[in-house]
Amino acid sequence: MFYHAGKVGVPRQLVIKRDSSSIPDAVTKAGLILPLVAKPLVADGSAKSHELSLAYDEYSLQKLEPPLVLQEFVNHGGVLFKVYIVGEAIKVVRRFSLPDVTKRELSKNAGVFRFPRVSCAAASADDADLDPSVAELPPRPLLERLAKELRRRLGLRLFNLDIIREHGRRDHFYVIDINYFPGYGKMPGYEHIFTDFLLSLAQSRYKKRSI
């Protein structure tokens, strides 16, 4: 999607439900480019269900454990933006993420590297001394239009997005994850925002009954 404030896309990805031995062929047919991020298909709240893996070579793909989602890795300066949507309200926080992968590292490394809960609350990057080109939040107009479009398409009013900025491209962003009704305890000021949202729902229903 193109917006006046930038471009938003989704990394190419592939869902693998069973048979890890077939993953290399499936990746080749789909045309995915290594390295690939492997994410559990279902997050059940356990630490393992939030664990990410980075697969550097074709052989290591067979070591992954389906069901999972494979997603092309995009260098993004090791920072992601968690965008919380609560009705019309939008709140953005920075989180540390997977580090960039250089061509030299890709040529030398092999295997699967596991990263437990890289974007948890303890990994906040809001107060870190970061390169401004990495730390700059996505433009507000872009987030507002994206949130509006996703509310319409998904039919949701409580959800959050994980967004990354492609390293070296200031206005190119990727949505790498969407969570419906996430844990809002990680969102600063969530009490007031959530209370305002519930009050707006109650007022809206009251107005409808009064008509």
The domains found in the chain, sorted by start residue, are 2-203 (3.30.470.20)
Angstrom distance (rounded) from CA 15 to CA 26: 10
Listed in sequence order, the residues at least 6 apart from 158 whose beta carbon sits closer than 8 Å to its beta carbon are 85, 86, 87, 180, 181, 182, 197
Listed in sequence order, the residues at least 6 apart from 123 whose beta carbon sits closer than 8 Å to its beta carbon are 95, 96, 117
Q: What are phi and psi of 150, to 5 degrees?
A: -70, -35
Predicted confidence at residue 47, as pLDDT, reads 45
Weakly modelled stretches of the chain, pLDDT under 70: 1-4, 43-50, 116-123, 127-128, 207-211
- Edge-first strand listing for the sheet containing 79-86: 2-3, 6-9, 172-180, 158-165, 79-86, 89-96
Give yes or no for a contact between 142 and 170, defined as CB atoms under 8 angstroms apart.
no
Predicted confidence at residue 77, as pLDDT, reads 92
Predicted confidence at residue 136, as pLDDT, reads 92
